[in-house]
Amino acid sequence: MDDIAARIEHTVLGPTTTPADVRAVLDVAIETGMRACVPPCYVSMAAEYASSVAVTTVVGFPHGQHTSAIKTEEAAALVEAGADELDMVANLGLLRAGEDETFRWDIAEVVAATTRPVKVIVEAPLLADDEKHRAARLAAEADAAYLKTATGFADGGATTDDVELLSTYLPVKAAGGIDTWERAEKLFEAGAERIGASSGETILEKYRRSKT
């Protein structure tokens, strides 16, 4: 396993994802040393099927507008099922409304519900720069472990500008529209600690070819 493989979360989160789709992603992760990001309903199966793979799943996905109580219950249950890390979608409606304390508290409740690292998805393509700064600052104050650029379901994807901005607050997982090694490399260079992509296998293959 090389360092780049361990920094890629091979992802399958589409609305028609099947157990077979998840096993296929896990097979690649087992072979290559990548992490995996799978839907909540498949976490238990994933943890049993691929005990050597670090499994991430999502909380409050995809819009972050579940109640805080539901998010905390979900987080605790997913860790019990075997999740190693959680990617929580922030409630951008609260941020847009200026309810900063409630926005921070919503994140803090999930963080407090588990000892696992929590990445906060801020859906950066939907935010103005001042909102990105506020979201990042509040997530840091809530003791989040990472910021994540996007769910991948909103228009726009990860950009080097967003990674540079967010990484001044917390480590960053860049996600959204990353389908080539060239793009992933630029995001790593901009400061991303992790990459989340459904094209993880292709990205890693191109990276390894570039080194041989």
Q: Which residue has the tokens 């700064």?
A: 133
Is residue 173 annotated as part of the catalytic site, yes or no?
A: yes
Is residue 148 annotated as part of the catalytic site, yes or no?
A: yes
Q: Which of 71, 119, 132, 173 is catalytic?
A: 173
Q: Which of 87, 119, 132, 162 is catalytic?
A: 87
Helices 181-190 and 200-210: crossing angle in degrees, nearest 10, is: 80
Is residue 206 annotated as part of the catalytic site, yes or no?
A: no
Q: Which of 71, 119, 132, 148 is catalytic?
A: 148
Q: Quick one: tokens of 21?
A: 């789709």
Q: Looking at the annotation, which residues are catalytic?
A: 87, 148, 173
